[in-house]
C-alpha cells in the first residue's frame, strides 16, 4: 500500500526536493484486506477484528530480544483502555476524558493533541465511566473519536483540527459512550451505555463520515406500542415482551462489540442486557425480550434488520453480548463457512454463520451454572431451574462481570486458536424483600433491579486465565492462570506469538502454539489496554498504553490488591522493538490505602446503612465497593475531605472538584451527606480495627 512520490517544494526562493511517503488510503478496500501488516488502522487491526498481524520480524525465536524503543509519559491521564491505531508511522489514541493524541512512532514525540472538553460538555451528567474510552477509528484521512458525554467528533488526522461534531444522545438521559466508533462505506457507527443508570432504550446510529449527519438509527428494543413501531423488526420484537416494559426502557444498549462485515455488507451489533437486569420487573410475564443479549445483523446501507441470534432469551443476570465479534473463515462440518466468533459474558463460546445467523456451535469456556448447555437444534439455552432466582436469591456463575468482558480476544488463523482473557467469579442475585411492583428506574445513578449493596469483593473471590480455545473443535488447547481478575485484551501474530498485559502490570509474550511464556516486562502500573504492532521504515514495533482502569476496578479489594493507587503510578505509552535499548522509566512500588479512624466520630448504624445504599447507587462506580478504591479514584477511607462534613459537602454537593473529574451531586440532601459520612467512617474504622 505504501507508494513513494517525489515532492518539490518552493519556499522563499529556496528549492527543496525530498521524498515523502504517500498517505495510505484507509478505505473499505484497505480495511477489508489482510494487508502487509505495516499499519494497524482499525480497532481490531482490520474489519475482521481478529487482532492478528501478519508481521513476522518479531517471532517466537527472537522475542526475548525485545526491548524498549521509547516511552511517553501521560501525566494528565487516568484510565487508559484504548486500542491505539498506527497509520503511516503515526500512533493515534484516545485517553481519559476522550483526550486524543497523535504521536510519531519512531521518536515518541507528540505531533498534536485534541481535548474535546468532556467535563465542560458533560456538566452534571459527568457521573459514569467518566474517564473511559476504548479508542478511535481512522477513515480516509479522518480520525473519529467518541466522547463520554455522547458526541462523535471527526478530526483531520494530519492536524488534529476538528472537522465536525455531532451529539448522539439525549443529554437529559444518563447515556454515555466509552466504545470505539466503527467505520464503513463513508459512514461511522456508534452505540452507547447507560443500561444500569436510566430507563434506557438502546440504539445504534450511523452518520455520514463527511458531514456528521445521521444516516440511520436502529433501536435495539421496542418502545411503547401506542407510539407506533419504527419498523417491522420492532413490531416483531414487541411480541416477545410483557407488561409495560417501555416504562423501564428495556435496555439492550450497544456499548461495545460492533463489527462491520464486508463479506455481507452488514453491521453486526452485540447488544446489551435488560434495563433493569431483573426480568420480573422488566417483563413480568416472561418472554425472550428481543433484541436483548443478541447479535443483530443490520444492512450497512439502510440499517434494516436482517437476522439475529439471541444468546440469553429473557436475560436476568446482566449477561450482555457486548463483547467483541470476530470474523473468521472456518471449516465446519466439512464446509468452509464465513463465521463470527463471540464469547459473551454468559460463559459460552458461540460460532455463528454470518450468512443467516445460524448457530453452528456453543460450548462452555468457563464455569457456568445458569444453563446446562445450548441446544444446537433450537439454538436456545437449556437453563438450570432456580438460576433465575425464582425464590428470591441464587448464586450463579458467571458474575455480572462475565466469564469474558470487553477485553478483546484475538484469533490466529495459523494456529486456528482464539486467545481470550477469562474471569471465573460467581454473582449473587437477590430480590427477596424488594417490592418489585413499586420499583422505579434510576436516573443518573445505578440500580439494576436486584439488591445492590455495593460490598467489597475479597481479593481471592475470583480467578482469571489466558485461554487458548479451538473454535472448531470447541475445546481448550491451553490455559494459563493470570492474576485476578481484570486482565487486558490480547494480540496475536504470524510470528507464532500472543501478547497480553496483566492486572499486575506485567506485559508478556507467549508461544501461540504451546502457551510457553517467552518474554515478560514489568511496566509499573496495571494494564487495561491491548497491544498493537506495525512497521515504520521496515522495522516492526509493538505499542501499548499502560494505565489501570475500567469497570473491574470498582470491585474493591479484588482490584486494590495490585496496589495501583490513584495518581501515584504513571500513565504511559510504551513502544518496543527488537534490541531496543531505552531504559524502562521508573514507577513507584505498589501502594495501598491507609484508612484513617476519627476516634471521636460516633457512628450511627442506621445512618451508615442509608449511606451504604447511597454509596452503592452513586459513589462505588469510581470509589470502589465497600469504600475500597480499586485505583481509579481516591480511597475515601483515607481521604481528609471525608473527615470534614463541610469539605465533604463542598466536593459532593457544591462540585468544587468538578474540574478534577469529581462529579457534582446537587440533589443530595443533608441526610444523604450524613449517611455517606457515617458509612465512610464505619468502613474506615472497620479497616483500622482489622489491621490491629
Judged by the rule CB under 5 A, the positions of this chain that interact with Ca ion are 273, 318
567: CB partners within 8 A, 6+ apart: none
* Closest distance to Ca ion from the beta carbon of 49 (Å): 21
Active site residue 318: yes
Residue 681 has phi, psi (to 5 degrees) of -65, -35
CA distance 196 to 312: 18
The nearer residue to Ca ion, 273 or 533, going by C-beta atoms, is: 273
Closest of 293, 318, 310 to residue 399, by C-alpha? 318
In the structure grid, which three cell numbers stand for residue 307, read together? Answer: 437476522
* Closest distance to Ca ion from the beta carbon of 494 (Å): 36
| DSSP alpha helix (H) spans, 507-628 | 557-560, 605-618, 620-623
The residue from 149, 261, 288, 318 that is catalytic is 318
Longest CA–CA separation in the chain, Å: 86
* Closest distance to Ca ion from the beta carbon of 320 (Å): 5
The nearer residue to Ca ion, 419 or 439, going by C-beta atoms, is: 439
* Closest distance to Ca ion from the beta carbon of 500 (Å): 24
Handedness of CA 625, 626, 629, 632 (dihedral sign): positive
* Closest distance to Ca ion from the beta carbon of 345 (Å): 8
The nearer residue to Ca ion, 343 or 536, going by C-beta atoms, is: 343
* Closest distance to Ca ion from the beta carbon of 449 (Å): 12
CA distance 628 to 560: 7
In degrees to the nearest 10, what's the CA dihedral of 335, 338, 341, 342? -120
* Closest distance to Ca ion from the beta carbon of 486 (Å): 16
The nearer residue to Ca ion, 44 or 402, going by C-beta atoms, is: 402
In the structure grid, which three cell numbers stand for residue 149, read together? Answer: 458525554
616-654: string of b/e by CB count within 10 Å (b at 16+)?
A: bbbbbbbbbbbbbbbbbbbbbbbbebbbeeeebbebbbe
Strand partners, 507: 501, 521
The nearer residue to Ca ion, 305 or 401, going by C-beta atoms, is: 401
Beta carbons of 618 and 633 less than 8 angstroms apart: no
The nearer residue to Ca ion, 401 or 499, going by C-beta atoms, is: 401
DSSP state of 532: E
The nearer residue to Ca ion, 318 or 500, going by C-beta atoms, is: 318
For 285-299, what is the HEC assignment? CCCCCCCCCEEEEEE
Return the active site residues: 318
Amino acid at each position: 500500500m505504501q507508494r513513494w512520490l517525489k515532492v518539490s517544494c518552493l519556499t522563499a526562493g529556496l528549492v527543496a526536493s525530498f521524498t515523502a511517503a504517500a498517505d495510505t488510503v484507509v478505505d473499505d478496500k484497505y480495511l477489508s484486506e489482510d494487508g502487509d501488516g505495516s499499519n494497524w488502522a482499525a480497532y481490531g487491526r482490520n474489519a475482521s477484528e481478529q487482532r492478528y498481524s501478519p508481521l513476522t520480524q518479531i517471532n517466537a525465536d527472537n522475542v526475548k530480544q525485545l526491548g524498549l524503543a521509547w516511552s511517553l509519559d501521560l501525566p494528565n491521564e487516568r484510565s487508559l483502555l484504548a486500542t491505539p491505531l498506527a497509520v503511516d508511522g503515526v500512533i493515534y489514541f484516545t485517553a481519559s476524558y476522550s483526550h486524543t493524541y497523535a504521536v510519531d512512532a519512531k521518536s515518541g514525540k507528540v505531533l498534536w493533541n485534541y481535548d474535546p472538553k468532556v467535563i465542560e460538555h458533560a456538566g452534571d451528567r459527568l457521573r459514569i465511566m467518566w474517564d473511559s474510552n476504548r479508542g478511535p477509528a481512522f477513515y480516509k484521512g479522518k480520525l473519529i473519536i467518541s466522547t463520554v458525554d455522547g458526541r462523535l467528533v471527526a478530526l483531520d488526522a494530519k492536524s488534529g483540527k476538528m472537522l465536525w461534531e455531532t451529539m448522539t444522545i439525549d443529554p437529559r438521559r444518563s447515556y454515555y459512550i466509552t466504545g470505539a466508533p466503527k467505520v464503513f462505506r463513508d459512514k461511522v457507527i456508534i452505540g452507547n451505555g447507560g443500561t444500569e443508570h436510566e430507563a434506557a432504550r438502546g440504539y445504534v446510529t450511523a452518520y455520514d463520515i463527511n458531514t456528521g449527519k445521521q444516516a440511520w438509527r436502529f433501536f435495539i428494543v421496542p418502545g411503547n406500542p401506542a407510539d407506533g413501531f419504527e419498523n417491522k423488526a420492532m413490531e416483531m420484537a414487541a411480541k416477545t415482551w410483557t407488561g409495560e416494559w417501555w416504562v423501564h426502557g428495556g435496555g439492550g444498549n450497544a456499548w461495545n462489540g460492533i463489527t462491520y462485515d464486508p463479506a455481507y455488507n452488514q453491521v453486526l451489533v452485540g447488544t446489551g442486557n435488560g434495563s433493569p437486569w431483573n426480568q420480573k420487573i422488566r417483563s413480568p410475564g416472561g418472554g425472550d425480550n428481543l433484541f436483548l443479549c443478541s447479535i443483530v445483523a443490520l444492512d450497512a446501507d439502510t440499517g434494516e434488520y436482517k437476522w439475529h441470534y439471541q444468546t440469553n432469551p429473557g436475560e436476568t443476570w446482566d449477561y450482555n453480548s457486548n463483547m467483541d465479534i470476530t470474523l473468521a473463515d472456518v471449516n465446519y462440518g466439512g464446509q468452509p463457512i464465513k463465521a463470527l466468533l463471540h464469547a459473551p459474558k454468559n460463559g459460552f463460546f458461540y460460532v455463528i454463520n454470518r450468512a443467516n445467523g445460524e448457530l453452528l456451535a456453543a460450548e462452555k469456556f468457563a464455569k457456568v451454572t445458569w444453563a446446562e448447555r445450548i441446544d444446537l437444534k433450537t439454538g436456545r439455552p437449556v437453563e438450570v431451574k432456580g438460576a433465575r432466582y425464582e425464590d428470591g436469591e441464587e448464586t450463579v456463575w458467571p458474575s455480572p462481570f462475565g466469564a469474558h468482558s470487553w477485553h478483546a480476544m484475538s484469533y490466529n488463523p495459523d494456529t486456528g486458536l482464539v486467545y481470550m482473557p477469562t474471569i471465573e467469579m460467581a454473582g449473587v442475585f437477590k430480590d427477596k424483600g424488594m417490592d418489585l411492583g413499586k420499583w422505579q428506574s434510576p436516573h443518573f445513578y445505578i440500580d439494576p433491579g436486584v439488591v445492590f449493596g455495593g460490598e467489597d469483593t475479597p481479593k481471592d473471590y475470583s480467578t482469571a486465565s489466558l485461554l487458548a480455545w479451538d473454535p472448531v473443535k470447541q475445546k481448550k488447547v491451553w490455559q494459563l492462570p493470570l492474576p485476578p481478575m481484570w486482565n487486558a485484551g490480547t494480540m496475536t501474530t504470524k510470528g507464532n506469538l500472543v501478547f497480553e498485559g496483566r492486572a499486575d502490570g506485567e506485559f508478556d509474550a507467549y508461544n501461540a502454539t504451546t502457551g510457553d511464556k517467552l518474554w515478560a516486562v514489568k511496566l509499573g502500573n496495571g494494564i487495561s489496554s491491548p497491544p498493537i504492532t506495525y512497521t515504520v521504515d521496515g522495522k516492526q514495533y509493538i505499542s501499548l498504553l499502560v494505565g489501570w482502569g475500567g469497570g473491574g476496578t470498582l470491585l474493591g479489594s479484588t482490584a486494590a490488591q495490585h496496589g495501583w493507587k490513584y495518581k501515584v503510578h504513571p500513565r504511559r505509552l510504551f513502544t518496543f522493538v527488537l534490541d531496543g535499548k531505552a531504559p524502562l522509566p521508573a514507577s513507584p512500588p505498589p501502594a495501598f490505602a491507609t484508612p484513617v479512624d476519627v476516634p471521636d466520630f460516633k457512628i450511627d448504624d442506621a445512618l451508615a446503612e442509608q449511606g451504604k445504599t447511597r454509596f452503592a447507587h452513586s459513589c462505588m462506580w469510581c470509589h470502589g465497593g465497600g469504600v475500597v478504591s480499586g485505583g481509579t479514584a481516591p480511597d475515601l477511607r483515607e481521604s481528609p475531605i471525608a473527615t470534614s462534613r463541610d469539605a465533604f459537602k463542598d466536593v459532593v454537593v457544591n462540585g468544587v472538584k468538578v474540574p478534577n473529574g469529581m462529579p457534582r451531586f446537587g440533589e443530595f440532601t443533608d441526610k444523604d451527606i450524613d449517611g455517606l459520612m457515617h458509612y465512610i467512617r464505619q468502613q474506615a474504622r472497620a479497616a483500622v480495627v482489622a489491621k490491629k
